[in-house]
Amino acid sequence: MKANETRVDKFLATNETTFAIPVYQRNYDWTLFQCKQLLFDIIETGKNDRTNAHFIGSIVYVHDDVYTASGLTELTIIDGQQRLTTITLIYIALYRLAKELNNQMLGNRIHKTYLINEFAPEAEKLKLKPTENNKDALRHILNSSEGEEFKGYSKIIENFEYFKSAINAVNFETIQKGLSKLIFVDIALDRQKDNPQRIFESLNSTGLELSQADLIRNYILMGLSRANQDKIYKNYWEVIERNAKDEILNKTRVSEFIRDYLTLTSKEIPNKGDVYTKFKEKHPTSTMDDLEIVLSELKSLVKFYNKLTNPQNEADRDIKTQLEYINRLEINVAFPFLMKVYEDYSNSIIDKNTFLSVLTLVQSFTFRRFILGLPTNALNKIFMNLYDKVETDKYLLSIEKSLLQRSGVQRFPRDTETITALKEKDVYNIKPKNRTYLLERLENHQNKEPVIIEGNSDITIEHIFPQNPDAKWKIDLGADEYNFIKENYLNTVGNLTLSGNNGKLANRPFLDKKEMNYDGKEQGYIFSRLWLNRDLKEIMKWDKDEIEKRAALITQRFIDIWKLPDIQVELEASSEEVNIFDAEDPKFKKLEYAIFFNQKLEINQVAKLYIEVFKQLFDLQPETFFTSDLGKRITLTKTPKDHDVRQAVQISETYFIEANIDNVGKFDRIKQALTIFGFEDELLIKYAD
């Protein structure tokens, strides 16, 4: 490795040299904010006669004595693409402006010194050789006539348009002067002596913001020859990047996809920040044969991941509808399992009806659990292992059986407890997507003319007993019943409906809302064709009894939609040890022992576990207690008396925490701490019999 302090303009002016951005690099993605900041720094540096230099970081490249077909030296840039590309855009803007100002000499100097290799063939003229998707954009802004539009979208084009508008005859010389003062650390690597991947990882750990997918792509491709890089990128990685994407938000999901793949194949759920590390552990070599095996599997699965993420891409209308429901519920934890089921359907191992049944089963399982408020953490491990339970000759039955056998916090809620929970649950103040999903499916069950609520501004959710009732409600119901409904039933399913006239109905008394026909526009419930309003037509008074009757009707419909499989199974015995996030309520319970960081703790009280966990976490990483709200939550203090700590326990030589908390509160604080630290899988407990 050789490192030198170098001026940017001298680096770009190197004769007969190409600066190649390899395919494994992430795309050029600097925002306008970053471009504005760089231009501001350049102008300020150009104005300041007392400053001879402005440091902009490092540029790391591999110098392998590689030459192009025409004999140009090719430097492979592994860090610095964003800055190098942006500075090139500034030079192109200066070049274009020099031509407009009829300064032919200056224009030629910029063009031939910083932008092109004058005597190279046309295909190799550009000094900066970006990835394929940016090459056309760079050529366009360098060679196109004024007013000629570029087809498609590119950050290259967007950022160049900014520089073109910001650089003018007034600041032209200042910017040139500022550019001549830019310096960077020029780090040249020799592949025979240096390890570019290890150096790249080191750069990333010191602040280069790359995703887990970026790191994996670099790991896969960096050690290959240029020809093999192109082959692997075009045949596999480009397909993965194109498909592992939220197409509506135009947001990449490659990191999430590979995390799901590792969950499926390794039977271990990597933390979001450890996907790259776990991928390297599972695939420690990167020979072409090894790569093609793993990338073939990824390429096969990503087709199904694409449709799970983008249901609009599924051609079959029935399957598309169920995928849209799963998408709305954000059941992403089921993706590792569903990708394999989707693959089985694609390979005709199962038929369409079986696939649809699995999709509806997943919804029933997860949505019933949501209604009960069961912990979502349990779902990760359930779906991680669920495909292993599949028996090909009894496909659906084997999945139903596996889910129904689970007990405790992993259980598939039965009808009775689901009905009880739904009648009492606040289903108005939940995620809008979940609320819409619930009411839309209730409305459209067995409806041949379905009503679309998602994205439909004409139909909104209506409180029958209003959130801010007209005074007449209290007179009609009496104070006691009025207050009871407001406190207990306001946001429950029995009091909610759908309406295209919510604004008109507003806070009016029930009979007014029922019969309203203002200007002959039939706003009242009696004119509605919706199932959710059908029984309101016959009611003369909206009171506690009517809300309970309606809730009973709706909950029965809920049970018909989100069905419990009609099979008999024996519940699995509770496992010896459970993750604390999956554990039952610790109220009135004793522990037999706990396992923290793979070490068995002979602890039989939740209070002792509470102290031990926070002692170890504070010893491991004390700063996290002060950079998050964790310290405040556990009343971390050096002076317990000054902070009214009722039962102070010591967790270090100088710090104490409050221990006068019930067992449920202790569990809540432990789980919050483990989540903040990213140690959700590190604490197992076993309750005493």
pLDDT of 118-174, one tens digit each? 888 888 889 999 887 788 899 899 887 766 788 877 889 999 999 999 999 999 999
User: Could you tell me where the DSSP H helices lie in 562-679?
Assistant: 606-620, 624-627, 630-633, 663-677
pLDDT digits over 623-633, tens only? Answer: 899 988 899 99
207/652: higher pLDDT = 652
* 602 vs 218, higher pLDDT: 602
Q: Are residues 115 and 203 in the same domain?
A: yes
Is residue 67 pLDDT above 70, yes or no? no
pLDDT digits (tens, 9 = 90+) for 11-21: 999 888 899 88
Looking at the fold, whether 52 and 146 belong to one and the same domain comes out as yes
Whether 43 contacts 54, CB under 8 Å:
no
- Beta pairing class for 73-79 and 17-20: parallel
HSE, side-chain direction, 13 A CA sphere, residue 612: 17
Burial class (CB in 10 A: 0-12, 13-18, 19+), 598: exposed
- Closest to 341 measured CA to CA, from 559, 251, 326: 326
Say whether 462 sits in a helix, a strand or coil: strand
Instruction: Please say whether the beta carbons of 45 and 182 come within 8 A.
Output: yes
State residue 171's pLDDT score. 94
Give the three-class secondary structure for 629: coil
Task: Please state which of the ranges 244-248, 273-277, 352-356, 640-644 shows the lowest mean pLDDT.
Answer: 640-644
CA quadruple 279, 280, 286, 290: dihedral positive or negative? Answer: negative
On whether both 253 and 177 belong to a single domain, the answer is: no
From residue 124, how far is each of 11, 68, 81 by CA, in Å?
18, 8, 18
What is the spatial distance between Cα 620 and Cα 677, in angstroms, rounded to a whole number? 10
- The per-residue pLDDT for 290 is 86
User: Is residue 266 domain-resident?
Assistant: yes
Radius of gyration of the chain (CA): 32
Q: What percent of the chain has pLDDT over 70?
A: 93
If pLDDT is split at 50, 70 and 90, which confidence band does 202 have? low
Tell me, yes or no, whether 569 lies in a domain. no
284, β-bridge pairs: none
* Residue 579: burial class (beta carbons within 10 Å; 0-12, 13-18, 19+): buried
Considering the domain architecture, whether residues 336 and 228 belong to the same structural domain is answered as: yes
Write out pLDDT tens, residues 234-274. Answer: 899 999 999 999 999 989 999 999 999 999 999 888 888 88
Contact 291, 232 (CB under 8 A): yes
On whether the CB atoms of residues 127 and 116 are closer than 8 A, the answer is: yes
d(CA 386, CA 469): 48
Q: Is residue 346 part of a domain?
A: yes
Same domain, residue pair 333 and 404? yes
Last residue of a domain, one of 155, 174, 209: 209
Query: Do 524 and 657 share a domain, yes or no?
Result: no
Same domain, 384 and 468: no
Strand 251-252 and strand 656-658: pairing? unpaired
Pull the structure tokens for residue 349. Answer: 């191992």
Q: What is the C-alpha to C-alpha distance for residues 143 and 99, in angstroms, rounded to an integer?
A: 12
- Torsions phi, psi of 652, nearest 5? -155, -175
DSSP β-bridge partners for residue 180: none
| Residue labelled with tokens 């084009």 | 157
Dump pLDDT digits (tens) for 488-537: 999 999 999 988 765 566 788 899 888 888 777 777 888 888 999 999 98
Question: What is the identity of the amino acid at 631?
Answer: G
292 within domain boundaries: yes
Question: Where is average pLDDT lowest: 390-399, 412-421, 468-477, 523-532?
Answer: 523-532
Helices (H), 222-316: 226-232, 238-243, 254-266, 275-282, 288-309
Q: Is residue 655 one of the residues assigned to a domain?
A: yes
Q: How many domains does the chain have?
A: 4
**Secondary structure letter of residue 654 according to DSSP:** S
The answer, yes or no, to whether residue 206 has pLDDT greater than 50, is no
Task: Report whether 307 contacts 323 (CB < 8 A).
Answer: yes
Instruction: Give the span between the Cα atoms of 88 and 48, in whole angstroms.
Output: 23
Tell me which amino acid residue 566 is. D
Tokens of 53: 């230099």
Flag whether 484 is in a domain.
yes
| Residue 487, domain member (yes or no) | yes
DSSP class per residue in 474-513: HHHH-HHHHHHHHHHTTTSGGGEEEES-HHHHTT--HHHH
User: Within this chain, do residues 338 and 246 fall inside the same structural domain, yes or no?
Assistant: yes
Do 106 and 220 reside in the same domain of the chain?
Answer: no
How confident is residue 1, by pLDDT bands cut at 50, 70 and 90?
A: low
Decide if 571 is inside a domain. Answer: no
236 and 375 housed in the same domain: yes
554 and 454 co-located in one domain? yes
- Residue 653 gets which letter from DSSP? S
Q: Structural domain of residue 502, as residue ranges?
A: 419-561
Tell me how far apart the alpha carbons of residues 394 and 563 are, in angstroms, rounded to a whole number.
Answer: 19
End of a domain among 492, 527, 561? 561
**Alpha carbon distance 416, 523 (integer Å):** 36
Regarding whether 595 and 455 lie in a shared domain, the answer is no
Distance CA 664, CA 55 (A): 54
Domain boundary, last residue among 395, 413, 431 = 413
Which residues, including other chains, have CB under 8 Å from residue 118's CB and lie 6 or more apart? Answer: 112, 125
The residues facing 596 across adjacent strands are: 599, 683
